[in-house]
Every structure is written in C-alpha cells, then in structure tokens.
Structure 1
C-alpha cells in the first residue's frame, strides 16, 4: 500500500490590509475606490467584511504581524462601527503582533476618539496632513485646515500613537519648506511625501490641472534634502523615518511578502502551493456594490518570472534594494544570470548599483525607476 502524496502546507500569511472606502468628502486628485456613506451601506459593508474574514481564516494559515486599515477614511467610521470591524478581524484572523495602523483624517480626531482607537488595539496613525498651508489645502480640496492637522497630530501623539504624516508636494504656491519643517516640529516619526499626480478621470484631470516635471523634480529633491537634514532617513522613494520608525506593514509590500486584502477594492498577494509554475495569486476585490453582491475578485496568477519582476519593481524602491541571491531562492529563477544584460546596462548608466548580490537603485535610478523596471520586463535595455 503506497502512502498518499503529501499536500504542501501554504506559507503562513502575516499581513492584512483592510479597505474602508467611505470618506466625508472626495478629494479632486483621488482615484482610489472611495465614496460617501449612505444609509444602511456601512452596516452591509461590516456584515460582508465579517463573512470574508471568516472565509480567509478558513483558507489560509494566518499569524498576523501587521494590520493596516486604509481608505477612504477609516477614522470616518463611527466608534461602534470601527469596534465592529476590529472585532470581525480579531475573531477570525487575530491582530498584528508588531504594528497596527489606522489611516486618519485630521477632521475626525479628538482626544476621546484617540483613546478609543488605542483601546481597540491601534498603535500607529497615518495622518493625511497633505500641507500645513491653508491655501494649498483649499486647492487640494481637503476637508480640514492647517490648525486641525496640527491639533490632530499633537492629540494622537499625546494619546500614545506612533504618528506618520502624509504630505503632497509639487503643488503650485505651496511653501514646501514650511510644510516639511512644520510637520517635523510637531513630532512625527515618519513622513510619506508624494508628488501631486493627476490621474485620468479625476476632477483635477477634468479641470486640466497639470504638474510640470520641474515641479515634480523640485519636490522630489527638496523634500529629501530637508528631511535628511532634520534627521530622517529616506528608506523608500516616498518614505522617510526616524531610526527604527519604518512602516513594518508597507515593508511587506516592498519585499514582496504575502498579505491578505479584506474589503471592497482591496488587493492581496496570496500564497499558492502544489501548482507547478505558480508562486502565488494577486487578487483585487470588486468595488463596493459588486463586492456586496458577491462578485468574485479579479485574479492574476504569479509565475516565477512575474514574482521576480514584482519583487524588483517594489524592492528597488527601497534604499536597501534587493538581494538577488534571496530572490533567486524565493523564485527559483537565477535572477543575476537571467537579467545580466539589463543589470549591466543600468549599472553603466548609473541608475543601478550591484554590490555582491545586493542590487540597488541610485537617486538617478529612483527618478526613472518605471523605465528601469520596463527594461526588466522587456528583458533588454532601452537605448540612450
């Protein structure tokens, strides 16, 4: 009698992203899946979220290190609603052992709410400051003023949160130096600085708002000069931190780890075992009304070579770059040999450096990273 074949055990998933699509207002630059709340919709959302959390727990071994509630505006949920969401996650999937982040709109913060959020188990707040200049906030369509942003950060810090502040750069008329210094002076340990991007279909696109490459580059370079001068490390293209204050959850994305996506529009990177030529699946959930109706997620199978290009695309955003030997072990592809011509060409151009098995993008490479990755995808360097 022969033994039955052993079915491989899927890798343990240690990260969870939860999408909360509701916002008090929709910013004119935003192209995320967001909408304003309507009567009864949040209740249906919470019930479906609990059902999906149960299904994920049954399908995958889970031992969470990080949980991240993004949006939308998770802090826009009423206290009882957020408590219900957290209970659904805790009941079926557990809670992050290392870091649990809540995205926060400044206008939703009070001392009492900060205390409630800490009691629910959140220890890190990512605050959508965007600017500390009232005319810039008005242009961006933000539902708060600069003083509300300052008050939100100080309230959260007093409430025991680790605080990250978001900034948008390359806005015409923005006093960038004042924004950066003002945010740091409030006491944040982490800053995410993003260039204003005009996405198709947004109100800004319809209004013909444009951002020049010169403005983008100035924001890109000036933000780094200011923040590194103030003791922050640029550890990823758009992210800066005090020592030890990196985002543990986002690092899971940048190092191509598996993570669960819960909620409408949420994306996840799921392990797959026992299928030759497949290392995982990337799934993106349907938008709210289709998701509530039970529409299946869009699924893309991750082959070994797709795993490699995904890992390069995300990993080269990090100052640490990518360990090609580790990536070879994880993917089964000899990365250094497979992409030697592309690597050699970009090292010669000064956009990449290779130190042993560690591949990194240079500052110049960060600026043109999309083209660098396109060359890996095409498997041959562009001319120039």
Structure 2
C-alpha cells in the first residue's frame, strides 16, 4: 500500500514578488512549418491575423486588470513574429504598450532570416525591440534543406549582418546532432558574424511531427558529441555556457529566459502561450498558478486554459528543475525564503544521493549540476519528485 506523504508545513510565510515583470507573446503564424516543429504554429489564412490582433488586445486588457504589472522583459515568440506585416506588428506592439507597458530591460523579437531587410530591421528597432533571436539553425545549405528551412546560408548571414547594423543585440539559434552537419564550421561561422548569444539545441524528434512520420532518429552518441563539441568551441571563442543550451558573451545573457529558469512569474499572451501567475492569496496554500492558452481557433472564442494551482512544494520542485539547468544552479536559501519551505532539509536525501554520484555539487547554500549531471538532469529531477 502506497501512503501519501503530506506536504511539510511552511517554516515561514513565502516571500514572492506580487508584481509580474515578464511577458511572453505567442505569434503562431509561420511562412511554412518545419518538419521538426511541435509548437502551436500554422500558416496564415485570410482574416486570421486580423482576428488574432483584435483578440490579443482584449486579452492584454484583461491581464492588465488581473495583475500588478511592471515589465522588465517582453519576448515575442512563435511561430514567426517577424512574419507579421509591418502594420500588423506595429498594431501588436501598440496593444502591449497601451495595456501592459513595455520592457524596461530587454525586448526580444524572434526572427526568421527570410523576413529580414535593412529597412525592416530599422523598423523593429524603432518599435522598441533591442534584441533579436534569429532562427539560423545552420550555415550549411544541405543541413538547412534537411531541416526544411526556407532560407539558405547566405540569407542567414545577410539577416544577422542587417540586424547588427540596425543596433540590435543578436542571438543565433543553432540545431546540433543533425546527420551530416558540419558543426565546427556552423559554430565558427555564426560567431564570426558577430552574434553575442547562441542557443544550441539538439535535434529532437517529437511525436506527431513530420520527422517522426518519416522515421528520423538521432543517435545518442551524436547528441552527446554535439553537446560537448559545442561547449568546447564556444568556450574557445569567449562564450560562457550559462544554461544547458545557451551561451553568451559576458553580460549578454537572455534576461527573459533567466526569468523562466529562476521560476519567476510571467504573463502568457496569445494562443498556445503559457503563463506563470501570482496566486490571488497565499493563505490557501497556493503560491502561484500556471495556465496554457488553447490553440488559435478555441482561443478566439475567449476560452482560457485551465489554471493549475502551485503549492509550496511544487513551486520548490519546479524551481529546482529549472534552476539546475543554470551553471550557477539554485540558491537553496533564497528558494526557502521564496517558498517558505526548508528546501535543503526537505530534499536532503535526493541532494545527498546525487552529490555522491557526482551529478550535483553543494557549495554553501548553492546547489548546482555538474557537467555529467546536466546530461542526466531528468533522472536527477526524478529523485527530487520521488523524495
């Protein structure tokens, strides 16, 4: 018989920031759907973008009425936000500014290289974006063709050059472990373009994608080799790996994504957008809530995703899962203050087991993953979930 283990009582009242400082906006429209993509994306049809923009404004107004908002970061992801026409993107930014304000610290636009021109880059800068996340994926034409990308290597280079010339900080996305990919030249080429941040993701074949239907697979040896070679090369170029899949020159880390990894609250705006929200009151034992919006056609009816209440223990577990992705790890003293739990005592067994394995390191109040621990992080987190 399995006996439920009660959540330990709070040592102190949780100390969480009641103000939401981060906003994610999902733009689901793409010029085409890549064979590896499992996000909520669709090609645009007549009237869809107009309906999307109209309801986006209504949802922004509703969020503003529900939460105290003082934005530090705004992130437009997708989909392909840069696929919106200039007037459409201007309208979207206007809706955000009217109801929620704008990020005081960092504002990122996800960009497909095929949508970039010098004039458009200048427009995006004038709208208030200071950072561009560019889906380069590779600088090898054969690899890009295999990945189903619509741009070629020359187009990617021209796009990054135009964005930097417009005064934007540029992050380049790179997919690794692609069969036949010349990874070294991809990395050298991307660094040589002048980007200050690189997100390097292993090719993952998710169920329901075109790659899954074709039977594409990724060998674990190739995944591991790409994982290690990427860090080796980028470190030599002066980039520090500050998260499992993210590298930056000093001071160029993504402030928005750091909010996710540090388990902060954020608003989710648009179809398919996920949000992490402050609880109305912590007196009932819930610290925050999470909610993912439905896909476009349902979202346009005004239906919301179901909110999931997050209590102190789940909040702490989420924070460990996300924070151990960071090179700095998790400050257990700070997490105890935020959650109200004695985190170090609550997870003492899981911590000791994984320190002994060499997967985690406990340095004062800081718990961080060792390089081998990053590779098996899902197994590490399972130990905390089962604690």
TM interval, short-chain normalised: over 0.9
Matched, 1:255 2:262: yes
> Aligned partners of 2:141, 2:381: CA distance in 1, in Å?
38
> Aligned partners of 2:171, 2:306: CA distance in 1, in Å?
31
Which runs of 5 or more structure 2 residues have no equivalent in the other structure? 1-14
Equivalence map 1:361-372=2 (5 Å): 361-372=369-380
- Do the aligned partners of 2:266 and 2:275 also contact (CA within 8 Å) in 1? yes
Q: Which residue of 1 aligns with 2:113?
A: 106
Equivalence map 1:232-243=2 (5 Å): 232-243=239-250
Matched, 1:351 2:359: yes
- Do the aligned partners of 1:9 and 1:273 also contact (CA within 8 Å) in 2? no
Q: Which residue of 1 aligns with 2:73?
A: 66
> Aligned partners of 1:130, 1:197: CA distance in 2, in Å?
13
Equivalence map 1:232-381=2 (5 Å): 232-274=239-281, 275-379=283-387
SS of equivalent to 1:114:
helix
> Aligned partners of 1:354, 1:271: CA distance in 2, in Å?
29
Deviations 1:129-153 (A, max 9, x none): 0000000000000010000000000
TM-aligned CA distance change 1:256 to 1:209, over 3 Å: same
Deviations 1:170-200 (A, max 9, x none): 0010000000010000000000000000000
TM-aligned CA distance change 1:328 to 1:123, over 3 Å: same
- Do the aligned partners of 1:10 and 1:273 also contact (CA within 8 Å) in 2? no
> Aligned partners of 1:221, 1:84: CA distance in 2, in Å?
43
- Do the aligned partners of 1:136 and 1:173 also contact (CA within 8 Å) in 2? yes
- Do the aligned partners of 2:28 and 2:271 also contact (CA within 8 Å) in 1? yes
Matched, 1:82 2:89: yes
- Of the three residues 133, 148, 153, the one matched with 1:146 is 153
SS of equivalent to 2:264:
coil
- Of the three residues 62, 72, 77, the one matched with 1:55 is 62
- Do the aligned partners of 2:121 and 2:163 also contact (CA within 8 Å) in 1? yes
> Aligned partners of 1:325, 1:43: CA distance in 2, in Å?
48
- Do the aligned partners of 1:164 and 1:190 also contact (CA within 8 Å) in 2? yes
> Aligned partners of 2:296, 2:306: CA distance in 1, in Å?
14
Q: Which residue of 2 aligns with 1:382?
A: none
Q: Which residue of 2 aligns with 1:36?
A: 43
Post-superposition offset of 1:273: 3.4
Matched, 1:161 2:168: yes
- Do the aligned partners of 1:286 and 1:298 also contact (CA within 8 Å) in 2? no
Q: What stretches of structure 1 move > 3 A for 4+ residues in a row?
A: none
- Do the aligned partners of 1:14 and 1:65 also contact (CA within 8 Å) in 2? yes
Alignment TM-score, normalising by the size of structure 2: 0.95
- Do the aligned partners of 1:65 and 1:96 also contact (CA within 8 Å) in 2? yes
SS of equivalent to 1:103:
strand
SS of equivalent to 2:284:
coil
> Aligned partners of 2:54, 2:382: CA distance in 1, in Å?
41
Post-superposition offset of 1:298: 2.5
> Aligned partners of 1:298, 1:320: CA distance in 2, in Å?
33
Post-superposition offset of 1:9: 11
> Aligned partners of 1:300, 1:61: CA distance in 2, in Å?
20
RMSD of aligned Cα (Å): 1.0
- Do the aligned partners of 2:16 and 2:338 also contact (CA within 8 Å) in 1? no
> Aligned partners of 2:186, 2:121: CA distance in 1, in Å?
24
Structure showing greater relative contact order (alpha-carbon pairs closer than 8 Å, 6 or more residues apart): 2
How many matched pairs?
A: 372
Post-superposition offset of 1:294: 1.5
